[in-house]
């Protein structure tokens, strides 16, 4: 697809960036001649322009061209001039995006596109207000309406039903339906079908007779009764086989088939008068139509005056409001909106604020609308996701000052921040410049975030950071990320290029944004933020910050940062994406709950017996393959390393701590180092892989079927192989099967890497592998008699606790058989990494072979990578949207807005859905002390600022200031003082300084860099002697 983007200001460049990263065929950049050269207000958001470009005669599109082209070498980017309609025709474009255009231009071009069958998107950002219009033609087909993967469920049972069910569910029956068979399909209880009435499904792998066997490969429309998440009904054509002689035996899969949906769009001229449904934040629905009228009036003001209203000009604001009322009353062009004067009066302040900041350019607003429009462009080109139909309005009016700013505050300074000053004022700009920020993570979200900050002027102090008095300068952004850039990052982390691959993310990102705004003061680290790096990110570091922003991909790291922000009373900006979904959360000390206060329920774990013997989903086989990878390529080399690092006697002694596992451990070591099995060449690795194939995908399956034959029944007479248990089929090795060879080659290569065995080039490897396989002999399977295989989770747990009585003797025999450690070469343990292809090839091949055993649909490398790494790839559009949203919250925090003005958000660009809500307040604990209520939250604590204070002094402080009596004082797991311990010791400790007591009891010196002790206290009310819950105590050491 070819996309034409008109206007390369802050919004236009954001859209272009997102569309190019997504990988359309070609992008044409175009500028109207009357608005194409660089102005100061462009620099507030257009990250590919600089102050030096202000003197250039080149257009913004021409200046930005090279950098946009370099984002993706597979996209043809060009700059064209001339008549726009001729360009639209000659390029055969699929979509046109209009930004920074007047209402006459929009009407003319949109009408031309509508008649020509070209999708058109019109987008405007005015300060903290924005609008988007979409017209994708009268018959636009959406192939994927929600962006969710097609659901797939395993069938538990299929039974017959009656036509009454369809009638009760509101299904229209025809006379021809009377002869059809009604079937109720029920899926396993641990996997909801996620279907709605009218959805279409395909049924497969059902084992049965008669009509049940005829279900396979056919498609059906389903009826879901009363929202039942586990069963649905289908109508089947009558069969020559009577239903009475048909029998459902077991198994089968329900696979959803996504049906295309056709949508009709009005033209711009029609839709502006009759907009129908307007997409907006659910909490601002009542504002949608008044804002539609206000945007129309603002365009009319611009058309009449030749410019937008001036910042701080109340007369201009009043005129925009008057034009809004005039357009909406009877006889006005928007009279069909049916807006009363009372309704418009209710929104008068907001409409005037729109006018007052309409000349403003705010980087985060351009970023978030650039994300929305970028996604709409992709939808127009691909039919993937539901488009905006047809208007979208978004505002962040809560971020504005409570009252309009005076004229002198919003006057331009002749600086790159003039566009933002027009909205938030000069004083705010100075505050932003002096912020000390900490960005944790420089991936997809981190790159967008640090770019936004540089455009906003965050951490851009006027003094040079290299001057002699740099220690006194406020205004620095610290960014840290321990990862290095990989090729897969380039499609969504726009600050990185091919030449940056293998370079640190943090330093590369900091360097890239400093080139965008040289005043941006960034300090980059390559360290994880965790307990082991508290020497670096210490008390002084966190206390010097104004705000912390997380750009992380895991909950554990977020929770650690959350605890730090709570301890140091720092605001935290949190955001994340999951494909087209995004969320933001703002955490402000004492005003909102902390991040860890509300948690998603833990992921449901896969039962051990399901994983080992009865998988029914590709997730199960991938988890199994990952565990096999960990055992063979990580745990075994680590076990060998431990054996090599100790004497035999010492190693045997160390095994006592793992009684249940030591035999397995020693058997792995024996297989890894014994001369008969230790590989010394690539050919040996191929032999090992071939034997592993036979063991995993043939012999273990044969043993399972030996224990549980196909026709076995349970104690209550039901078939053993039913419900979630699908009988597997052993795989016979075939050297011509690509998947079989992929497992052999990828596993052999990884084993060679573990043993540090050099390998030859790829062509030679294939020849060596084929020749070795041709001569490799595997032992014929012999079932193990009496082997117990657990069939339930309880049996699996019991099995893990069982220990053979002769295990110690077996272990001693193995240890005696092991070669001396000094005769062994080193082994390299492999830590699984989803982004390392050599790792994923092994896991994907093993998973798909096991899936083939159990007739589970297989997954390609890309899908397997996502499931095995538990990731949904980030997309540039969602990332831009959520970072823009969270940066708008930054403005509010700097202004110390009350909690009601802060917003947490959830969005889904695939629907599209946009919701916001006020953050939850911190949970209040109420304690009763001396008959009075003491209300406190997790943000509260008792601060002791006297480093020399003794425990006696602390007891007095608690009594005099809080009316409580100290019962016990502890630091971590160490009890420092307690009224039930030895009185003589307690008397001695009471006279000692708290720091001295801690060092004496723990027998450890407190590091000189440690500034605080966290002390837990148990106290009681002095009047009632009842135990009272109070906040923790923070003790200052210096």
Catalytic annotation, residues: 609
Q: Using H for helix, E for strand and C for coil, what is the string for 622-680?
A: HHHHHHHHHHHHHHHHHHHHHHHCCCHHHHHHHHHHHCCCHHHHHHHHHHHHCCCCCCC
Task: Check the CA dihedral 794-799-800-801 and report its sign.
Answer: positive
Which of 511, 544, 520, 529 has the alpha carbon at shortest distance from 439? 529
**Distance in angstroms (rounded) separating the CA atoms of residues 121 and 7:** 13
DSSP 8-state secondary structure symbol assigned to residue 223: B
Q: Name beta bridge partners: 1016.
A: 970
Note the residue count of the chain. 1038
Question: Whose structure tokens read 């611009």?
Answer: 302
Which of 186, 182, 222 has the alpha carbon at shortest distance from 202? 222
Q: What is the DSSP string of 226-276?
A: TT-SSEEEEEE---SS-GGG-EEEE--EEEEEPPPEEE----HHHHHH---
DSSP 8-state secondary structure symbol assigned to residue 849: H
DSSP 8-state secondary structure symbol assigned to residue 116: H
**Sheet containing strand 253-257, strands side by side:** 219-221, 200-204, 253-257, 152-161, 181-187, 231-236
**Distance in angstroms (rounded) separating the CA atoms of residues 517 and 456:** 10
DSSP 8-state secondary structure symbol assigned to residue 784: P
**Distance in angstroms (rounded) separating the CA atoms of residues 393 and 131:** 5
DSSP H helical ranges for 736-875: 738-754, 762-775, 793-801, 807-817, 837-853, 861-868
Other CB atoms within a 10 A radius of the CB of residue 801 amount to 7
Q: Please state the φ and ψ torsions of residue 956, each to the nearest 5 degrees.
A: -65, -40
- The rounded radius of gyration (Å) of the Cα atoms in the chain is 34
Q: How far is CA 848 from CA 625, 844, 871, 912, in A?
A: 9, 6, 19, 35
* Structural contact between residues 739 and 859, judged by C-beta atoms closer than 8 angstroms: no
DSSP 8-state secondary structure symbol assigned to residue 727: P
Structure tokens given for 711: 């026709």
Q: Is 978 exposed, middle or buried (0-12, 13-18, 19+ CB in 10 A)?
A: middle
Q: Name beta bridge partners: 478.
A: 438, 523
**Distance in angstroms (rounded) separating the CA atoms of residues 34 and 918:** 42
**Distance in angstroms (rounded) separating the CA atoms of residues 312 and 766:** 74
* Structural contact between residues 414 and 39, judged by C-beta atoms closer than 8 angstroms: no
Q: Describe the crossing of helices 861-868 and 618-629 by its angle, rounded to 10 degrees.
A: 70
**Distance in angstroms (rounded) separating the CA atoms of residues 636 and 654:** 16
Which of 61, 76, 63 has the alpha carbon at shortest distance from 23? 76
Q: Please state the φ and ψ torsions of residue 344, each to the nearest 5 degrees.
A: -65, -35
Question: Whose structure tokens read 């006057």?
Answer: 411
DSSP H helical ranges for 329-437: 341-346, 348-356, 363-382, 407-410, 418-433
Task: Check the CA dihedral 34-36-39-42 and report its sign.
Answer: positive
**Distance in angstroms (rounded) separating the CA atoms of residues 108 and 128:** 27
């Amino acid at each position: 697809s070819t996309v034409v983007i008109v206007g390369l200001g802050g919004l236009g460049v954001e859209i272009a960036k997102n569309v190019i990263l997504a990988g359309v065929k070609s992008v044409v950049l175009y500028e109207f001649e009357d608005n194409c050269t660089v102005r100061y207000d462009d620099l507030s958001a257009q990250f590919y322009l600089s102050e030096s470009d202000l003197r250039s005669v080149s257009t913004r599109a021409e200046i930005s061209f090279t950098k946009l082209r370099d984002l993706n070498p597979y996209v043809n980017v060009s700059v064209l001039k001339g008549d726009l309609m001729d360009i639209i025709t000659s390029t055969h474009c699929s979509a046109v995006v209009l930004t920074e255009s007047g209402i006459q231009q929009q009407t003319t071009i949109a009408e031309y596109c509508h008649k020509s069958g070209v999708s058109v998107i019109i987008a405007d950002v005015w300060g903290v207000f924005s609008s988007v219009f979409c017209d994708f033609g009268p018959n636009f087909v959406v192939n994927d309406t929600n962006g969710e993967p097609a659901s797939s469920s395993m069938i538990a049972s299929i039974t017959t039903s009656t036509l009454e069910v369809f009638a009760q569910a509101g299904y229209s029956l025809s006379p021809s339906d009377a002869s059809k068979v009604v079937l109720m399909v029920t899926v396993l209880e641990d996997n909801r079908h996620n279907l709605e009435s009218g959805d279409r499904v395909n049924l497969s792998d059902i084992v049965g007779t008669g009509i049940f066997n005829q279900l396979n490969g056919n498609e059906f429309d389903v009826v879901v009764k009363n929202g039942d998440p586990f069963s649905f009904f289908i109508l089947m054509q009558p069969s020559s086989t009577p239903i009475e002689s048909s029998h459902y035996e077991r198994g089968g899969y329900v696979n959803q088939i996504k049906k295309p949906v056709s949508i009709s769009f009005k033209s711009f001229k029609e839709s502006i008068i009759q907009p129908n449904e307007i997409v907006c934040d659910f909490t601002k629905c009542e504002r949608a139509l008044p804002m539609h009228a206000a945007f129309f009036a603002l365009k009319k003001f611009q058309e009449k005056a030749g410019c937008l209203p001036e910042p701080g000009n109340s007369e201009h604001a009043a005129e925009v409001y008057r034009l809004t009322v005039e357009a909406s009353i009877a006889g006005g062009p928007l009279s069909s909106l049916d807006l009363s004067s009372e309704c418009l009066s209710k929104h008068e302040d907001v409409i005037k604020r729109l006018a007052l900041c309409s000349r403003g350019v705010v980087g985060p607003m351009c970023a978030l609308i650039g994300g929305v429009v970028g996604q709409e462009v992709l939808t127009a080109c691909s039919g993937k996701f539901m488009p905006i139909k047809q208007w979208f309005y978004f505002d962040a009016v809560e971020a504005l000052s409570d009252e309009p700013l005076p004229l002198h505050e919003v006057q331009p300074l002749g600086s790159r921040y003039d566009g933002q000053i027009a909205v938030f004022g000069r004083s705010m700009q100075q505050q932003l410049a002096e912020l000390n920020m900490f960005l944790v993570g420089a991936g997809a979200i981190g790159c967008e975030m640090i770019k936004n900050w540089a455009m906003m002027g965050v951490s851009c102090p006027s003094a040079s950071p290299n001057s002699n008095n740099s220690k006194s300068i406020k205004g620095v952004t610290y960014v840290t990320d321990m990862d290095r850039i990989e090729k897969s990052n380039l499609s969504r982390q726009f600050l990185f290029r091919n030449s940056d691959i293998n370079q640190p993310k943090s330093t590369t990102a900091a360097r890239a944004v400093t080139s965008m705004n040289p005043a941006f003061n960034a300090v980059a680290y390559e360290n994880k933020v965790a307990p082991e790096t508290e020497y670096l990110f210490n008390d002084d570091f966190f206390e010097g910050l104004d705000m912390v922003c997380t750009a992380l991909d895991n909950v554990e790291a977020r929770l650690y940062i959350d605890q730090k922000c709570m301890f140091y009373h720092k605001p935290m900006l949190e955001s994340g994406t999951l494909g087209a979904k995004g969320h933001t959360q703002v955490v402000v000390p004492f005003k909102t709950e902390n991040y860890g206060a509300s948690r998603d329920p833990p992921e449901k774990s896969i039962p051990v017996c399901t994983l080992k013997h009865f998988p029914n989903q590709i997730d199960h086989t991938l988890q199994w393959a990952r565990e096999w990878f960990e055992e063979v390529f990580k745990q075994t080399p680590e076990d060998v390393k431990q054996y090599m690092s100790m004497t035999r006697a010492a190693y045997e002694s160390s095994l006592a701590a793992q009684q249940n596992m030591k035999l397995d451990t020693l058997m792995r070591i024996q297989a890894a180092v014994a001369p008969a099995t230790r590989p010394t060449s690539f050919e040996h690795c191929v032999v090992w892989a071939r034997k592993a194939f036979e063991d995993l995908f043939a012999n273990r399956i044969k043993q399972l079927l030996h224990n549980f034959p196909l026709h076995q029944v349970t104690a209550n007479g039901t078939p053993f192989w039913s419900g979630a248990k699908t009988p597997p089929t052993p795989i016979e090795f075939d050297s011509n099967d690509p998947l079989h060879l992929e497992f052999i080659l990828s596993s052999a290569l990884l084993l060679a890497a573990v043993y540090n065995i050099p390998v030859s080039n790829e062509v030679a490897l294939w020849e060596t592998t084929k020749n070795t396989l041709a001569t490799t002999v595997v032992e014929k399977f012999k079932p193990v008699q009496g082997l117990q295989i657990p069939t339930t989770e309880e049996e699996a747990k019991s099995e893990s606790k069982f220990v053979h009585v002769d295990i110690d003797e077996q272990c001693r025999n193995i240890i005696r058989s092991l070669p001396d450690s000094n005769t062994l070469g080193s082994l390299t343990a492999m830590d699984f990494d989803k982004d390392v292809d050599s790792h994923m090839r092994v896991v994907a091949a093993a998973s798909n072979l096991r899936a083939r055993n159990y007739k589970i649909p297989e997954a390609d490398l890309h899908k397997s990578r996502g499931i095995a790494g538990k990731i949904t790839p980030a997309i540039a559009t969602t990332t831009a949207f959520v970072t823009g949203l969270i940066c708008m919250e930054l403005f509010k925090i700097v202004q110390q807005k009350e909690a009601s003005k802060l917003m947490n958000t959830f969005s889904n660009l695939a629907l599209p859905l946009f919701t916001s809500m006020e953050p939850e307040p911190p949970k209040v604990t109420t304690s009763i002390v001396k008959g009075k209520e003491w209300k406190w939250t997790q943000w509260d604590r008792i601060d002791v600022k006297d480093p020399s204070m003794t425990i006696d002094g602390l007891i007095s402080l608690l009594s005099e200031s809080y009316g409580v009596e100290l019962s016990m004082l502890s630091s971590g797991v160490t009890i420092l003082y307690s009224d039930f311990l030895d009185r003589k010791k307690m008397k001695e400790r009471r006279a000692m300084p708290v720091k001295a007591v801690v060092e004496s009891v723990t027998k450890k010196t407190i590091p000189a860099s440690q500034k605080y002790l966290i002390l837990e206290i148990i106290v009681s009310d002095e009047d009632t002697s009842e135990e009272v819950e109070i906040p923790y105590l923070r003790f200052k050491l210096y």
